[in-house]
Amino acid sequence: MSNPCIICVAITGSLPQKSDNPAVPVSIEEQVESTQAAHEAGASIVHAHVRNPDGTPSSDPERFARLLEGLRKHCPEILVQFSTGGRSGAGHERGGMLRLKPDMASLSVGSNNFPTRVYENPPQLVDWLAAEMDAHGVRPEIEAFDLSHILMAHRMWQDGRLRDRPYVQFVMGVQNAMPADREVFDYYVRTMHRLFGTDAPWCAAGIGRHQIKLNDWAIRAGGHVRTGLEDNVRLDRHTLAPSNAALVAKAATLCQRYERPVATPYQTRAILGLHQPVVA
């Protein structure tokens, strides 16, 4: 049975700089160009942050609006997912761009440690972000940095704070948070099946050198994947990734190995229960 695999490309993030890898797209123009190439390589979702001209993270809705406009113009099919992560702003600033109605947005539902600080997601802010997404018709992607976040997503779905069955992404390999541990990964998958049904779509992301490993585990286990320079700037131990597209191509090769077609944007919308765009 064909089970298409969604490839999400996290093009920029808030941390990697051009000094880490010159291919990291920072300006809106670079981000649009990088997305186009990644889309051609197989990505059907782009996960995006925006930056200030000096490379520092920004949460300016105006920048997000320009990015969305560029993506809709040059890459109209791809699903756009904005980050509401905590590195680019504080409090309600983190959701200021949701009114632009991207297709999706990332939603963290609990707190955990990051390499040098606490990743704070207080309950009131989580509820506010979820409500904003709901109000603007934005499909949340739940970022599970920990097992408790999967259970929290379930609770929020049960009590109606999340309208649709949650699409959960396991994030593994963040320093000081959940490591890329195979037993835990398998338990995450079982927990998804138990709480949300065996047909519930889920996705996984590995940070740094764990990226390709998590791609492999997820594709093999029937899940979906995230790749991109936000999480990992290397193609392998010795080589910098020349582009986001190169990392997407690597994930696409794994799909081939496990006989899973790479999901088109149309299939991605169907898998996630999103409306198909109206063709003019």
Return the bridge partners of 203, or none: 169, 224
Choose the binding region for Zn ion from 52-60, 63-71, 78-86, 96-104 (rule: CB under 5 A). 78-86
Kind and range of the H or E run holding 228? none
Q: What are phi and psi of 252, to 5 degrees?
A: -65, -35
* Site residue total, Zn ion (CB under 5 A): 1
The least CB distance from residue 280 to Zn ion, in Å, is 32
Q: Which stretch binds Zn ion (CB under 5 A): 79-87, 109-117, 166-174, 262-270?
A: 79-87
Q: Decide whether 59 or 83 has the Cβ nearer to Zn ion.
A: 83
Please choose, out of 34-42, 75-83, 89-97, 108-116, the segment that lies near Zn ion by the rule CB under 5 A: 75-83
Write b or e for each residue in 196-227: b if 16 or more Cβ atoms lie within 10 A of its Cβ, otherwise e: beeeebbbbbbbeebbbbbbbbbbeeebbbbb
Contact between residue 45 and residue 36 where contact means Cβ atoms under 8 Å apart: no
Minimum CB–partner distance for residue 55 and Zn ion (Å): 15
Q: Where are the alpha helices (DSSP H) in 113-239?
A: 123-135, 147-158, 182-196, 211-220
Q: Is 88 in the site for Zn ion (CB under 5 A)?
A: no
**Cα 219 to the center of its chain, rounded Å:** 16
Q: Measured from the CB of residue 104, what is the shortest distance to Zn ion in angstroms? A: 12
Binding piece for Zn ion, criterion CB under 5 A, among 25-33, 36-44, 82-90, 148-156:
82-90
Other CB atoms closer than 10 Å to residue 280's CB: what's the count? 3
Residues 119 to 178 in contact with Zn ion, rule: CB under 5 A: none
The C-alpha atoms of residue 249 and residue 206 are separated, in whole angstroms, by 16
Give, in degrees to the nearest 5, the angle at Cα 123 between 119 and 126: 75
User: Least distance from C-beta 38 to Zn ion, angstroms?
Assistant: 15
CB of 88 to Zn ion, least distance (A): 9
Rounded Cα–Cα distance for residues 109 and 121 (Å): 7
Smallest gap, in angstroms, from Cβ of residue 106 to Zn ion? 6
Among 83-91, 144-152, 213-221, 238-246, which window interacts with Zn ion (CB under 5 A)? 83-91
Provide the minimum distance between the beta carbon of 196 and Zn ion in the complex, in angstroms, as a whole number.
23
CA distance 180 to 205: 10
Residue 127 and residue 256: Cα distance in Å, rounded? Answer: 39
Indicate the residue whose CB is closest to Zn ion: 83
Using the contact rule CB under 5 A, the part of the chain among 80-88, 124-132, 136-144, 245-253 near Zn ion is: 80-88
Q: Which of 83, 111, 121, 227 binds Zn ion (CB under 5 A)?
A: 83
- Give Cα 90 distance to the centre of its chain: 20
Q: Which is nearer to Zn ion, 36 or 88 (CB)?
A: 88
Cβ 174 to Zn ion, closest distance in Å? 11
Which residues contact Zn ion by CB under 5 A?
83
